[in-house]
């Protein structure tokens, strides 16, 4: 956080109004761009079926027993990356059609800082594609349209709340994680993102998950939903905090070949026993592209907030609350 005293451009009550405005406007713009249909989403899924998002493979889902279901275990979702692809099949979506949903999750092992909370809210979306669309060019086209929807939402929000002055670039810099490492070999992955966003404004950092030339991946990615050669993160430079903000993690999903390859690299071939993975290997799930777009992150970015706790109610360490109060940051 900055050492300068921070002053929000919106009161708490106006902030709450603006949060709703941003969420309503962005959903409209997302549907306008893609024609997605909104569907209901689960808050929890059965344990042991491989349908929950494993994230980096080490995060522990919140689990509980369900007495009314014979005591079977269930777990709070960490994201809907896998569930959505199954839903595309179950609901009969065809090539070019897609869905979106409000996802509310708990990630108990996430770090708590100005951009991270154990409560995750995002728009999860997924679209059926053909084999011919499993290309970098198609991925870039989708990214450009999502960025356009975000910037359109910013312009609408600024008209509604004139005290806001945030500026975001519609022009996207596409760069791979290896190219980022080559440019800034002395920096950490997080520091590379900040430097890239400070230089270009809006960045899509591609190919996340596999090891780079230094032997490390740029960041964690589960091996069984995104194709590591056809994915990435949408990042914006946020002048209000002088830092980069990741708004979306997304990508073209694994097919049978990339699923097997990535599970072997990750040492996670035991997941092939799950129904979800078996369906991919058998070609029974549609090819798709999808991702998540952070709701609180987007509100934080567009409303020029210094802490994600200004746009969502969360749990924060006492020392963080004290530091925020000292700096003029009012947590909800």
Residues marked active site are found at 53, 107, 122, 233, 246, 249
Q: Is 21 helix (H, G, I), strand (E, B) or coil?
A: helix
Closest CA to 77 of 49, 93, 54: 54
Distances (CA, A) of 74 to 43, 60, 68, 145, 312: 10, 13, 12, 36, 26
C-alpha 307/C-alpha 1 separation (Å) is: 9
Start-to-end CA distance of the chain, whole Å, equals 17
Which of 187, 194, 186, 246 has its CA nearest to residue 221? 246
CA distances from 221 to 120, 123, 200, 267, 298 (A): 17, 18, 24, 13, 21
CB atoms within 10 A of CB 75: 19
Q: In what order do the strands lie in the sheet with 173-176?
A: 37-38, 98-106, 119-128, 288-294, 243-253, 226-238, 202-206, 173-176
The residue with tokens 């959903």 is 27
In angstroms, the CA 239 to CA 201 distance is 10
Helices (H), the chain: 12-34, 81-90, 136-160, 177-183, 189-200, 256-266, 275-281, 295-302, 318-326
Beta bridge partner(s), residue 104: 121
Backbone φ, ψ for residue 314 (5° rounding) = -135, -175
Report in angstroms the alpha-carbon separations of 282 from 10, 229, 254, 256: 52, 21, 13, 8
């Amino acid at each position: 956080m900055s050492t300068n005293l921070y002053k929000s451009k919106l009161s708490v009550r106006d902030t709450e109004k603006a949060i709703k405005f941003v969420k309503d406007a962005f959903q409209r713009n997302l549907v306008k761009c893609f024609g997605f249909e909104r569907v209901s989403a689960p808050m929890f899924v059965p344990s042991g079926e491989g349908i929950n998002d494993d994230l980096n493979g080490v995060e522990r889902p919140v689990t509980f027993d369900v007495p009314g279901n014979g005591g079977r275990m269930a777990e709070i979702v960490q994201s809907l990356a896998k569930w959505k692809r199954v839903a595309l099949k179950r609901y009969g979506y065809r090539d070019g059609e897609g869905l979106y949903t409000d996802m509310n999750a708990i990630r108990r092992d996430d770090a708590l800082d100005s951009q991270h909370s154990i409560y995750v809210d995002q728009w999860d979306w997924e679209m059926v594609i053909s084999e011919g669309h499993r290309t970098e060019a198609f991925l870039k086209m989708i990214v450009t349209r999502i960025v356009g929807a975000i910037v359109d939402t910013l312009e609408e929000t600024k008209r509604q709340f004139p005290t806001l002055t945030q500026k975001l670039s519609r022009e996207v810099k596409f760069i791979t994680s290896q190219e980022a490492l080559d440019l800034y070999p002395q920096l950490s992955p997080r520091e590379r993102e900040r430097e890239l966003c400070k230089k270009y404004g809006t960045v899509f950092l591609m190919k996340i998950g596999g090891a780079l030339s230094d032997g490390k991946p740029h960041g964690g990615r589960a091996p069984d939903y995104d194709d590591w050669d056809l994915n990435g993160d949408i990042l914006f430079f946020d002048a209000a905090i002088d830092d980069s903000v990741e708004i979306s993690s997304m990508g073209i999903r694994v097919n049978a070949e990339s699923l097997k390859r990535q599970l072997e690299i990750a040492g996670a071939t035991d997941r092939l026993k799950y129904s979800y993975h078996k369906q991919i290997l058998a070609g029974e799930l549609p090819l798709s592209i999808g991702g998540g777009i952070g709701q609180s992150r987007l509100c934080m970015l567009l409303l020029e907030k210094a802490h994600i706790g200004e746009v969502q109610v969360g749990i924060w360490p006492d020392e963080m609350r004290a530091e925020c109060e000292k700096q003029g940051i009012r947590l909800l």
